[in-house]
Amino acid sequence: MNKMCFLKILCYELRRALMNRLFLGLLLMNGLSAWFLLSYDIIRGTAYTAPFSVWSYCTYLGRTLPVAAVTVLLLLSSYYSKKQKQVEILTAAAPFSPFDQVTIRTVTAGICFLLISLVVILLALLFYMRLFGFRNFAPFILPSVLLLLPCFILVNGLGQLLGSLHCGLIYVLMMAVLVLCNVTGVFDLFGAGYFSSVPLTLPAGADGEPAFTVGAGFIAARLLYLALGAACIYLTAALSARKSRKA
């Protein structure tokens, strides 16, 4: 498939996803829940640190991630719904490979996830600026990437893989996502538990707050999730290719 065709389909899928009432509703819900979280919880600060410390910011981002992950899974569920499977014979006739199809779906879901994350992050920045006059946002960049990327790749990969096996499994994954919210330690997929508990174990610095640091174990777990997600995406494409070869 040439690049133009790929881009055309991508643009179509993006328009379909972004103009969807469901996505707009979910975006609004993400924004509202994020604002409530900031106003009622993060405002107090995480683990005795400032509400605008990197610890509090990461906890906030981690708490918003389950809702964003469920949003992505809801979007993916429309790709693997019964209705979509009924028109698969037609879409299979389109001149693009199963790998391209999975890539297009991943990029579409990724842009939607990015958009949600941007709204959530911008709300936090606005909150910090307006309430505390805080503007030093540079330290937030790397932790944001560390939290968002593995989470999206894993949820998207698992969602696509399970969805391709059975559309109902995506809903099971949604339930699992909600259960995963409570996982703490280095394997905390969303990071909220990790970033709210680690500062309690660290000594306070000169400013009274523990210095921001991310353990090697946590980084390794993020890389593992990243690899696992990528493997799931690859497996989905491979399964889809095998299925189309059989057909």
Partner 1 sequence: MRLFSLYRVEFRRLLLSRTAAIAAILSILSLPLGNLLTAFSGGRSMSAHYILTPVLTGTTAGAIVWAVVMILEADRLQRSCVHVLTDAVAPPAFLSAARTLALMTLSAAVTVLTALVYLPCTASKMSYLFSPGFYFANFMVFMLPTWWVSILFADALYQITRRVELTCILYIALAGVSISGIAASDYFMRWINPFVITYSDGFPTIWPLRIGLYTRVLWLGIALGIWLFSILCIRRYQRGLVFSILRNIQKLPVLIPAVMFVTAGILLWDFQPFIDHGPDEYVASDNVWEIDDANRISAIRYSLDLDPATGTLSAKAEYDIQVPCRGEDVLNLNPGYTITKMTYDGENIPFRTVDSDINGQRPTYFELPEQLCSKTLVIEYSGFPTQGKYWSNSMVRDTIDRDYISLSSVAIVPILENYYTGVDEAAVADITIPDNLTPFLNHELMTDSVDNGDGTRTWRARCPKYIGDLTAGYYTVDAFRIGDLAVDFAYGTAYEEIVAKNDIQQTIIDILTYGTEHYGELFSANNNHLLLRQESAMFGGGYALRGVSTWFETVLAPDTLSDTDKGASATEVFIHEMLHQWWGGLGLSCADEELWSSEGLTVYSTYRLVKEKYGELYAQQYYVDAWKEAVDEQNRSFYNRHPEYLDLLPELYQAQIRSANKVINQYQRMPLMILKAEKLVGGEDKMDEILRQMYAERDQYQENDFYFTDFLNYLGLTEEDLNLE
Position 74 contacts partner 1 (CB under 8 A)? yes
Q: How far is CA 114 from CA 106, 111, 117, 215, in A?
A: 12, 5, 5, 25
Q: Which residue number, 25 or 217, has a Cβ lying nearer to partner 1?
A: 25
Coil, helix or strand for 237?
helix
Half-sphere exposure of 229 (CA within 13 A, CB side): 21
Compute how many other C-beta atoms are within 10 angstroms of the C-beta atom of residue 231: 14
Position 43 contacts partner 1 (CB under 8 A)? yes
8 Å CB contact between 106 and 163 = no
Candidates 89, 208, 245, 247; binder of partner 1 (CB under 8 A) is 208
Q: How far is CA 122 from CA 129, 179, 191, in A?
A: 10, 27, 19
CA angle at residue 20 from 101 to 35, to 5 degrees? 110
Q: Which residue number, 50 or 92, has a Cβ lying nearer to partner 1?
A: 50
Rounded Cα distance, 107 and 228, in Å: 17
Position 209 contacts partner 1 (CB under 8 A)? yes
Position 16 contacts partner 1 (CB under 8 A)? no
Of residues 119-148, which lie at the interface with partner 1 (CB under 8 A)?
A: 131-133
Position 21 contacts partner 1 (CB under 8 A)? yes
Please report how close the Cβ of residue 45 comes to partner 1 at its closest, in angstroms: 4
Q: Which residue number, 29 or 228, has a Cβ lying nearer to partner 1?
A: 29
Position 25 contacts partner 1 (CB under 8 A)? yes
Position 203 contacts partner 1 (CB under 8 A)? no
Position 83 contacts partner 1 (CB under 8 A)? no
Binding residues (CB under 8 A) for partner 1: these are 21-22, 25-26, 29, 32-33, 36, 40-41, 43-45, 48-51, 53, 74, 131-133, 204, 208-209
